[in-house]
Structure 1
Amino acid sequence: MKYYIITLLIIIFDQVTKWTVANSMQLFESVQVIPGFFWITSHRNSGAAWGILEGQMWLFYLVTLIVIGVIIYYMQLYKDSYPWLMVGFAFILGGAIGNFIDRIFLQEVIDFIDLNIFGYDFPIFNIADSALTVGVILVIIIMLIDEMKNKGKKVNE
């Protein structure tokens, strides 16, 4: 249950920040937060990461529903073990639902985190995107650690 609370908190934080940007800034308006590095920029994206598959809402609906179903299945399967894996799943679920809400109600996703990293103007993203990324990284790390542990057991047997 506590992992679903993490999911809910991510969804709430994502939606509140998107609502704040959408209702307090004009589209494409930008506010510098850290000079040369971080801006809040009101942006919309009707595609996936980096704007790919723009306007393919049916595909995003289908993929998101599958991801949500798979993540909930695995959260139920591993609910009594692997706490960090569960945190990763909670982040993925929160991020997927956060962007899904935008796609259902707005037919696009509100993005606003605008970074320039070592001269690279990174694509603008949001809290849901961040949660998805952190969640996927956590899941990969936990799976790699578990694989290394299991490999060590097989060698010692």
Structure 2
Amino acid sequence: MSRHSSSLRSLLTAEVATQRARYLTWFGIISASCLALSQLGSYLINTRIPLGTSVEISSILYFTHIRNLGGVFGLAQGQGWIFAAFSVLLISALVLYLVLSKRVRVYEYLCFGFIAGGGLSNVLDRLVYGSVIDFIDVRGIPFWHYIFNTADTFVHIGLWPMLFIGLFWHRD
């Protein structure tokens, strides 16, 4: 091996490490932003709209303050700690994957940032308020009666592109 190829290999390794650090920084910024915005929403709803009441934003959008003591779609009411523990384990595994894996794509850092930020916000809601504060109430959609929050929205913003890109774009 020549000195030239060795120094080129070192340069490429350093460039990859710098790029990964930049992507991890973006993951952290997106996660922290989603967490902060979701927590701000929970705080504002909790302090400004009494539990069980609604404020009409438009003819189809209301802010309705409810508490979810369970999990997704209100499943397992009273068992929120299970979803919180599962979320912490899942987000920890996600971060380990991003840090340790050699083949992480750029979109994964970005999408996982939304998922982690939203997931952590719901965990923090459970710790701070004893339940998840849900308030986005879209009315007029047949067979839809769910009320959700900004954290759930962020999880979906990260999840759906990951699903479609993984299924239809990258198949290696």
TM-score with structure 1 length normalisation?
0.86
Amino acid at match of 1:33: I
CA displacement at 1:120 relative to structure 2: 3.6
Amino acid at match of 2:36: I
User: 1:70 and 1:122 mapped to 2: Cα distance?
Assistant: 32
The answer to whether structure 1 residue 70 and structure 2 residue 93 are counterparts is yes
Q: Which residue of 2 aligns with 1:106?
A: 129
Q: Which residue of 1 aligns with 2:9?
A: none
Choose the corresponding residue for 2:45, options 1, 13, 21.
21
CA contact (8 A) 1:85 1:138 kept: no
Identity of aligned residues (%): 28
**Between Structure 1 and Structure 2, whose CA radius of gyration is higher?**
2
CA deviations on 1:55-76 (whole Å, 9 max, x unpaired) are 1133123201211111101222
Gaps of 5+ in 1: 151-157
User: 2:144 and 2:161 mapped to 1: Cα distance?
Assistant: 25
Q: Which residue of 1 aligns with 2:61?
A: 38
CA contact (8 A) 2:26 2:110 kept: no
CA contact (8 A) 2:70 2:79 kept: yes
CA displacement at 1:105 relative to structure 2: 2.0
User: 1:56 and 1:115 mapped to 2: Cα distance?
Assistant: 26
The answer to whether structure 1 residue 12 and structure 2 residue 39 are counterparts is no
CA displacement at 1:79 relative to structure 2: 8.0
TM-score with structure 2 length normalisation?
0.79
CA deviations on 1:115-134 (whole Å, 9 max, x unpaired) are 02533443100011111112
Gaps of 5+ in 2: 1-24
User: 2:99 and 2:64 mapped to 1: Cα distance?
Assistant: 38
Q: 1:20 to 1:58 in 2, by over 3 A?
A: closer
CA contact (8 A) 1:30 1:42 kept: yes
Amino acid at match of 2:62: W
CA deviations on 1:117-154 (whole Å, 9 max, x unpaired) are 5334431000111111121112112212111xx3xxxx
User: 1:118 and 1:107 mapped to 2: Cα distance?
Assistant: 30
User: 1:77 and 1:11 mapped to 2: Cα distance?
Assistant: 23
Secondary structure at 1:40's aligned position in 2? Answer: strand
User: 1:21 and 1:11 mapped to 2: Cα distance?
Assistant: 15
Q: How many residues align?
A: 147
Q: For structure 1, which segment, 10-19 or 48-57, has the greater mean C-alpha deviation from structure 2 after superposition?
A: 48-57
